[in-house]
Structure 1
Amino acid sequence: MISLVSAGKVLWVLHVVGWYVLRRPFDRRARKLNLTVDRRKGADTARLAVSLTGLGIIPAIYVMTGQPRFASYPASAILFLFGIASGIGSLILFRLTHKALGKMWSVSLQLKQDHKLITTGIYKYLRHPMYTAFWLMALTQALLLPNYIAGLAGIVGFGYLFFSRIGPEEAMLQEAFGEEYSQYRARTWRILPYVY
Structure 2
Amino acid sequence: MADPVLLLLLLDFGLIAALPRIFFRRDGSFNARWWSTALPVGATPVVLVLGRALPLDPIVPAGWLAMTGLVAVAAAALSIGLIALTLGTHRIPIALWHQNDDAPRHLVTWGAYRLIRHPFYAAFLLAFAAAFLAFPHWLTAAALVYMTVMLNAVAAREERRLSDSEFGAEYREYVERSGRFLPRLTPAGQPEVTS
For 2:147, the equivalent position in structure 1 comes to: 158
Answer yes or no: is the 8 Å Cα contact 1:122–1:129 preserved in 2: yes
Aligned to 1:182: 172
- Following TM superposition, by how much is the alpha carbon of 1:71 offset from its aligned partner in structure 2, in angstroms? 4.7
Q: Which runs of 5+ in 1 are unaligned?
A: none
Question: Which deviates more, 94-103 or 16-25?
Answer: 16-25
The equivalent of 1:9 in structure 2 is: 6
- SS of equivalent residue, structure 1 residue 103: coil
CA–CA distance in structure 1, aligned partners of residues 151 and 54 of structure 2: 26
Distance of aligned partners of 1:186 and 1:194 in 2 relative to their CA distance in 1, 3 Å threshold? closer
Alignment match, 1:103: 92
Gap regions ≥5 residues in structure 2: 189-195
- Residue deviations 1:95-140 (CA, integer Å, cap 9, x gap): 1112213324233145768811111112122211222111111111
Aligned to 1:117, the other structure's residue is in SS state coil
Give the TM-score, by structure 1 length: 0.74
1:57 and 2:47 correspond:
no
Give the alignment's TM-score, normalised by structure 2: 0.75
**Aligned-residue RMSD, C-alpha:** 3.1
Aligned partners of 1:104, 1:82: CA distance in 2, in Å? 32
Aligned residue number for residue 122 of structure 1? 112
Retained in 1: the 8 A contact 2:117–2:178? yes
Question: Residue 167 of structure 1 aligns with which residue?
Answer: 156
Check 1:153–1:53 CA distance in 2 against 1; reply closer, same or farther (3 A cut).
farther
Who is 1:131 aligned against? Answer: 121
Cα deviation code 1:49-82 (max 9, x no counterpart) = 3333333214414514768855535471111111
Alignment check: 8 A CA contact 1:53 1:157 kept: no
Q: Tell me which of the two structures has the higher relative contact order, counting C-alpha pairs closer than 8 angstroms and 6 or more residues apart.
A: 1
**Distance apart, 1:23 and its partner CA:** 6.2
Aligned residues: 181
